[in-house]
Amino acid sequence: MGDPSTTDRPASWVDRLDLRVSVARDRFRLRLEGPGTEPGGGLLMLKAAIATVLAWQLAVHVLDSNTPFYAPMSALLVVDRTIVRSFRASTKRVAAVVLGMSAAWLVGSQVGVTWWSMIPVMLVATLIGRWKALGEHAIQVPTMVLLSLLTVQGTDTDFTFLTIVETALGGLVGVLVNAVVLAPMHLTWPRRELRALTDRLQALLSDVADGLREGYDGDRARAWYQEAALIGRRAPEVLEVVETGRESTRWNLRQWLRPAQIDWDGYRWTAETVEHAQWQVAGIARTLVDAAEGLDWQPSPAADWLADYAHVLDEIGAAIGSFGVRTDEARAEIQEHADRALTALRELSDRVRDTRLEDPAAWPAYGALVLDAERLVRDLHARNEHAAVPTDTGPLRGPLVVDLPGVSPSPPPGP
């Protein structure tokens, strides 16, 4: 037994503090050295706060601004999930402020501020504010026009110039803070979402196959159809996540030091393939919904035929399990599953053509199920060459690149 003086002794506040510091240090180290997960809302808010305060102090001490509002506001609004988005937001905001302040100055200095001069200038400013190229920052154009005209009559050149400079300074500070303070690197987020999308499609096919063997009803078939529709709506969202991940590696110091080893084009191809596959799976589910409801114009295929069709869906689901994996074994598995599925579909089609159907009016359902499954198999097989999915076969990022004399790059991280 251990020393009774130390066994089961409650941890002191010093021990608890040491534990919390250790946990915080490990999390911070993983954030700096790890594969680079997407920053949460808390980190973005922290960076926005840092950028805001820094821009405010620079406007006060460098620009000698008496009303340092535009610099911190600009910095606050441009901190975004990626450095590229921060730069775009900064550029658009500065452009909007320049347009708005220039229009106000031109009107105020040339014709003055009257009720009749306000009408055309606000009309023009509103039209510019609808310019899609400026995005959400376009509203700044009429806002800045109105603010300038109502406060300084649009004639104060110093006010106009200082406002533009403050806005540019705030945008620059926001971009630099986002790039330097834990630069966003979205790598695990797209991988997780893409893997979940393919798993979801595979699970749906497996459930449909089980239902065809066990016997299904209209409610279960409608649930399949609804799930297929949800996958179809989810696929574009995953595509956007993948593009965010790709974008996060651009202009990123962390990417230059340790390049991300991710096939972004392959990820995009996979998400698009799932979106296309959903059309066929939804078609299969819709046919089963009509058949399950016992409609006169759409009778159900025979139970034994549907049980054999379930094996086809099993093969397709297994092919999706290997889809996009860049190994010879996975490619061979895709080929085998596709060949077995197509062979089974030809046999099922021959049975419909060569044998007497239990209900001759059910031939449209047979044909629809065969065609949708065949299109699905061929599309998966054809697109597999370009697709890629996340695997656990290697590191997300390459070795640390240190371009200094006598310093060797650090070894690559483990899987």
Q: What is the pLDDT of residues 107-129, one digit of tens each?
A: 887 777 777 878 888 888 888 88
What is the tens place of the pLDDT at every residue in 74-116? 999 898 888 888 888 889 888 888 888 888 888 887 777 777 8
38 burial (CB, 10 Å; 0-12 / 13-18 / 19+) is: buried
Model confidence pTM above 0.95: no
How far from 283 is each of 9, 58, 344, 371, CA to CA, in Å? 65, 60, 19, 10
Most confident of 82-86, 343-347, 400-404, 405-409: 343-347
**Rg value, the chain, Cα:** 31
**Does residue 62 contact residue 82 with C-beta atoms inside 8 Å?**
no
Q: Tell me which of 312 and 255 has the higher pLDDT.
A: 312
Q: What is the pLDDT of residue 52?
A: 94
**Does residue 108 contact residue 144 with C-beta atoms inside 8 Å?**
no
Q: What is the pLDDT of residue 403?
A: 40
Token pair 């996060």 is at which residue?
248
Domain boundaries of the chain, sorted by first residue: 40-180, 191-250+263-383
What is the tens place of the pLDDT at every residue in 237-273? 999 999 999 988 888 888 888 887 888 999 999 999 9
* C-alpha closest to that of 85 among 140, 135, 42: 135
Using the predicted structure, report yes or no on whether residue 278 has a pLDDT greater than 50: yes
**Does residue 128 contact residue 143 with C-beta atoms inside 8 Å?**
no
CATH 1.20.58.220 fits 191-250+263-383, yes or no: yes
**What DSSP state is assigned to residue 327?**
S
The residues pairing with 397 across neighbouring beta strands, listed in sequence order, are 260
Using the predicted structure, report yes or no on whether residue 30 has a pLDDT greater than 60: no
16-20, 114-118, 298-302: the lowest-pLDDT one? 16-20
Using the predicted structure, report yes or no on whether residue 137 has a pLDDT greater than 90: no
Q: What percent of the chain has pLDDT over 90?
A: 39
Confidence of residue 165 (pLDDT cuts 50, 70, 90): very high
H helix and E strand count, the chain: 14, 0
What is the tens place of the pLDDT at every residue in 376-391? 999 999 999 899 988 7
Q: What is the pLDDT of residue 208?
A: 96
- Cα–Cα distance measured from residue 388 to residue 357, given in angstroms and rounded to the nearest whole number: 42
